[in-house]
């Protein structure tokens, strides 16, 4: 990396304010602004590109396609759209679907998920028999605090309108929303429009909001999907979240790993730390099956894997979760164990030590519904879509953690050393006799190239959340 670029990016932690242009578009009532690890063979699964191929009834947008040579240079989104029309789409708009049923169980046998159904499955909202997909006004979500920022590339001109419609349709309170252009690095004045990234940002804002509707939602738009622009936007997001006392930053983008990832960019996730205002970073683990991606493989972030929601074909009742075949996860080739602070894993990021010892970073850490076959409704550009991928996992998990109110992040531990406090909590519960099986669902079926199993695995990490405790 050129020294001038890194120097410009490091302004955030040298006390120089990064200068974004703000586009305020907000609305609210009062504001305008002891589990055992899996089998040894599974834990030793190799790092490498997954072999997952999307089914014929799903569409992978151009923004989610990994291009040769992009690793460390440009990032891609991590979502697939359910194609319910049996056509070869000419654009994303061709895949729009009818509005979800306004009441009662959804008669669509494909089981597209609602906020109420997933809140029921993950036990963060009202529970009801079978957690069937329904627009259930009894959800009446009340969780959320401080702020959740979503970092995306490019402009989404309908982000606020789509979020407001989503909230009204599903019976949520009015969202508190702000959009910020991360253009202070001179890459643009207004980020250009990109349809693929726009649907991504609609999904991220809506599903982080759905899990934490009282949180301030901040959409931070980078000028492009280059690492330079996205990492600059990450620091702008940190500054914005600090204004609200801390919170979560969700990122649904990734690329393949690259040799200089640790030294080039890991420092960003420790930037702008302020006592009493913790920030935790979430990243999608990827949608190509077994294999680590970056920044998900950074030891300073929470890596979000993916599951499949399994339902009874006749009753639609929730039965179980299994590993989604497309979920990313693997052993990092470059985030290896080191005694040098800030380089790879080490004593300061030792939450995986009980599993792997002095070894490389493994992903993911925790999981959420990601299979397009059990995808969720997203409102984008005035239409409805059924969307899956670990791009859904990351913002939803950020919302659940926000709603839990534990206020953890990357911060100096009690001993004075920087540590990923959110992952410390997640992994500490893995070996408990009661808390683990109360606070998490241990996903033990399915494979993404490595089989899911008891305890931690390469598809779902420690498992999926159940309730707000221990998050």
Q: Name the DSSP class of 446.
A: -
As a whole number, mean pLDDT of residues 125-136 equals: 84
Summarised one tens digit per residue, pLDDT across range 390-420 is 999 999 999 999 999 999 999 887 778 899 9
Q: Which of 158, 159, 108 is nearest to 133 (CA)?
A: 108
DSSP type of residue 368: E
What are the tens digits of pLDDT across the range 371-386? 999 999 999 999 999 9
Residue found under tokens 């002095």: 358
**Packing angle, helices 195-211 and 159-169, rounded to 10:** 40
Q: How many other CB atoms are found less than 10 A from the CB of residue 86?
A: 7
Q: What is the predicted pLDDT for the residue at 50? A: 59
Average pLDDT over residues 121-145: 81
DSSP secondary structure string for all residues of 293-320: EETTT-TTSEEEEEEEEEE-TTT--EEE
SS3 257: coil
pLDDT higher than 60, residue 35: no
HSE-CB at 165 with a 13 A cutoff on CA atoms is: 17
Is pLDDT of 142 > 70? yes
Q: Which domains does the chain have, with CATH numbers?
A: 19-465 (3.40.50.200)
pLDDT beyond 80 at 7: no
Distance CA 288, CA 307 (A): 13
Looking at residue 136, its pLDDT comes to 64
What is the arithmetic mean of pLDDT over 311-333? 95
15 has pLDDT over 50: no
| pTM of the shown model | 0.91
Q: State yes or no: pLDDT of 209 exceeds 50.
A: yes
Q: What is the mean pLDDT of residues 137-166?
A: 90
Could you give phi then psi for residue 359, rounded to 5 degrees?
-145, 180
280 vs 354: CA distance, rounded Å? 22
Helices (H), 212-226: none
**What six digits make up the tokens of 322?**
């299994």
Question: Looking at the predicted structure, is the pLDDT value of residue 354 above 70?
Answer: yes
Residue among 312, 302, 407 at smallest CA distance from 365 = 302
For residue 339, give the DSSP letter.
S
Higher confidence at residue 63 or residue 37? Answer: 63
Q: Is the Cβ–Cβ distance between 206 and 247 less than 8 Å? A: no
CA distance 233 to 222: 5
pLDDT band, residue 53 (cuts 50/70/90) = confident
Percent of the chain topping pLDDT 70: 86
Contacts with 415 (C-beta within 8 Å, 6 or more apart), sequence order = none
The answer to whether 237 and 193 have CB atoms below 8 angstroms apart is: no
Tens-place pLDDT, residues 88-120? 999 999 999 988 875 444 444 457 999 999 999
- Mean of per-residue pLDDT scores for the chain: 88
Between 36 and 209, residue with greater pLDDT: 209
């Amino acid at each position: 990396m050129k020294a001038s670029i890194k120097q410009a990016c490091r302004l955030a932690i040298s006390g120089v304010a990064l200068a974004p242009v703000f586009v305020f578009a907000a609305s609210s009532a009062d504001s305008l602004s002891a589990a055992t690890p899996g089998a040894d063979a599974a834990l030793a699964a190799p790092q490498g590109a997954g072999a997952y191929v999307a089914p014929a009834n799903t569409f992978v947008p151009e923004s989610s396609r990994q291009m040769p040579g992009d690793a460390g240079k440009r990032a891609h989104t991590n979502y697939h759209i359910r194609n319910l029309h049996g056509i070869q789409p000419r654009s994303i708009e061709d895949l729009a679907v009818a509005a979800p049923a306004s009441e009662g169980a959804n008669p669509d046998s494909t089981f597209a998920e609602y906020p109420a159904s997933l809140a029921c499955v993950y036990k963060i909202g009202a529970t009801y028999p079978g957690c069937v997909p329904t627009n259930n006004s009894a959800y009446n979500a009340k969780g959320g605090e401080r702020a959740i920022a979503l970092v995306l590339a490019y402009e989404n001109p309908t982000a606020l309108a789509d979020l407001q419609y989503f909230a009204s349709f599903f019976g949520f309170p009015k969202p508190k929303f702000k959009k910020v252009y991360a253009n202070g690095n001179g890459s643009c004045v207004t980020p250009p429009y990109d349809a693929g990234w726009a649907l991504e940002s609609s999904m991220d804002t809506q599903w982080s909001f759905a899990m934490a509707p009282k949180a301030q939602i901040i959409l931070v738009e980078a000028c492009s999907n280059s690492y330079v622009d996205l990492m600059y936007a990450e620091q702008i997001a940190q500054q914005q979240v600090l204004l609200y006392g801390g919170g979560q930053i969700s990122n649904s983008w990734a690329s393949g790993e690259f040799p200089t990832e640790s030294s080039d960019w890991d420092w960003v996730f420790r930037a702008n730390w302020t006592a009493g205002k913790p920030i935790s970073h979430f990243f999608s683990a990827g949608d190509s099956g077994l294999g680590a991606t970056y920044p998900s493989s950074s030891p300073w972030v929470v890596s979000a894997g993916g599951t499949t929601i399994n339902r009874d074909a006749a009753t639609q009742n929730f039965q179980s979760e299994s590993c989604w075949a497309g979920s990313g996860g693997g052993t990092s080739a470059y985030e290896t164990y080191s005694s040098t602070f800030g380089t790879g894993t080490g004593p300061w990021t030792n939450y995986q030590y009980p599993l792997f010892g002095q070894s490389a970073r493994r992903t993911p850490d925790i999981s959420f519904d990601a299979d397009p076959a059990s995808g969720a409704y997203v409102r984008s550009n005035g239409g409805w879509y059924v969307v899956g991928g670990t791009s859904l996992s990351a913002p939803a998990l950020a919302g659940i953690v926000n709603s839990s109110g534990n206020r953890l992040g990357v911060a100096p531990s009690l001993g004075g050393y920087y540590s990923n406090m959110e992952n410390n909590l997640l992994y500490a519960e893995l070996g408990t006799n009661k808390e683990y099986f109360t606070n998490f669902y241990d996903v033990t079926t399915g494979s993404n190239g490595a089989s899911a199993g008891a305890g931690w695995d390469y598809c779902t990490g420690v498992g999926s959340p159940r309730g707000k405790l221990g998050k």
